[in-house]
Amino acid sequence: MHQPVILVIEDDPAVRRGIVDVLEYAGYQVLEAADGHAGMDAALTANYRLLLLDLVMPGPSGFEILSALKRKRPGQAVIILSARGEENDRVRGLVNGADDYVVKPFSMKELLARVDAVLRRTCERAAPADERDIPGGTADFKARTLVFTDGRREDLSEKEAQLLRYLIDACGRVVSRDEILRQLWNLDPARVETRTLDMHIMHLRKKLGDAEQRHLRTVRGSGWVYQMGGGR
């Protein structure tokens, strides 16, 4: 099964290199950023499951990045890595959405254990409600059915339901082809070429009555985005 992608935002080159090497050796795919500016951009736009976040660095601080994530990617799994071990900092980080707080210096064995624990815990979080509002109706993911107020009903395949739910829960974020293939199909995009995703998008648009792409839009060169408002 495809290993999760982890984003590391850390300004100390030696510390960052050590973390990246250990994570890659453990089988994870790793993205990295060396300061708060690159970190903020990656944190809000990159495709990853877990963020390892330093607090003090040039540009936006770790707390500022955490605050932006809370607004734009709520529920994102985050482990703070910091030399600041004061209780107020730990509490502030956890209250603002971090899943764990690791005080430097730490052993790489401990870090891997924390990473594994947070990934397991976030995967086991209570599943969200099985229904979502869609334009003109409701998507029932338990029944895998779209129910419209005009009486129309459309059945969804298992993958169509997973895909629609994933796009809706991205909360207006553009989701790339690579991310979807990895997360929903467990495929490595670098090793396989497939049009199955495009076919599923086409089928969803037909069932949603969204031929004009007012809600399920293609963002050329980037992926797809689902927006209830349907604005371009």
Model confidence pLDDT, tens digit, residues 63-85 = 999 999 888 777 788 999 988 76
- Give the rounded percent of residues in the chain with a pLDDT score beyond 90: 56
Residue 24 has pLDDT above 50, yes or no: yes
Cα–Cα dist 42/213, whole Å = 27
The answer to the question of residue 110 being in a domain is: yes
* 76 and 166 inside one domain: no
Helix (H, G, I), strand (E, B) or coil at 203: helix
Element (H, E) at 228: none
Q: Which of 123, 153, 182 is the last residue of a domain?
A: 123
Look at the chain and report how many structural domains it folds into.
2
- pLDDT band at 1, cuts 50/70/90? very low
Q: Which of 122, 213, 99, 125 is nearest to 167 (CA)?
A: 213
CATH number for the domain including 170?
A: 1.10.10.10
- DSSP for residue 100: E
Query: Do residues 114 and 196 both lie within one domain?
Result: no
231 occurs within a structural domain: no
Do residues 152 and 206 share a domain? yes
pLDDT greater than 50 at residue 125:
no
Domain containing residue 62: 5-123
What pLDDT is attached to residue 54?
93
Q: Identify the pLDDT of residue 190.
A: 79
Q: Is residue 82 part of a domain?
A: yes
Q: Are residues 25 and 72 in the same domain?
A: yes
Beta strands in 1-63 (DSSP E): 5-9, 29-33, 50-54
Q: How far is CA 118 from CA 11, 122, 123, 125, 187, in A?
A: 23, 6, 8, 10, 23
Q: Structure pTM?
A: 0.56
